[in-house]
Structures are given as structure tokens and as C-alpha cells.
Structure 1
Amino acid sequence: MNYVELIQRQAEQVFGNKEKADIWLTQPKIAFGGRTPLEVALTEAGYELVKAELEKLSHGFAC
């Protein structure tokens, strides 16, 4: 499994369904320098950044 697939699965868990996860994953974020979470998650370092943001969201912190 690659980093993007891992992030997609984690986002689905955080948002509760695929549609909401896809919306979050495909919208540019200030936290990622205007890039989308999917763009950032292509590398291991980027995957870790996106994973950390999803963990914040799962605990109620907005990003």
C-alpha cells in the first residue's frame, strides 16, 4: 500500500465516509502551502504531515 492509499483510509476513518474524506483530501490547504493533502502525501515526509493533520482533526482541532 502506498502513502496516498494510507492517507485515504485514515481520512475516511476521521470523516466517517469516503465522500467527505475525498473533499478534504482534494482541497488546497494553507497548512500544506496551498497544496492538497493528496499532493503532499506522495512522499514519506508529506505523508507524515498529512497524517498529523488528520490526527489533529480526529481530536477536534481544525486545520
Structure 2
Amino acid sequence: MWPELVGKNGEEAKQTILRENHVVKLVVIYKQDAIYLDDFCCNRVRIFVDKNGKVSSYPFIPMVG
């Protein structure tokens, strides 16, 4: 989890996640009201941004189970 990224620029948050966790292979940035598939992938992180491109909720790696 990266709660410290809330309010930061989405692209900067993406680079931070990729730098800090080498297991993560893909970081996808979505608008906060986007529709997306709720599938799980342990090496992908979704970042949700507001209309200003700022992270609106903390990014995390999904867990199954």
C-alpha cells in the first residue's frame, strides 16, 4: 500500500511504485470514476486520479483470498 501517494501527481506515483516494488510489472492510471474489470493480478497496481491528475485513493497490490 502507498497511502502517502494520495494527492500526488499520478505519473509521479506510478514511477514511485515501480521504483519501490520490483514485483510490480504494470501500473495503470484510471480516472476515479472509470469502469474497469475487477480482476486480480498480483503484479499490477491501479492508480485512480481525480480530474486534476492527482491520486484520489491509495494504490495497493490486490490480494486474493
TM range (shorter): 0.3 to 0.5
Scaled by the length of structure 2, the TM-score of the pair is: 0.35
Scaled by the length of structure 1, the TM-score of the pair is: 0.35
Greater C-alpha radius of gyration: 2
Q: Which of the two has greater helix per residue?
A: 1
- Pick 1 or 2: higher relative contact order, CA cutoff 8 A, min separation 6: 2
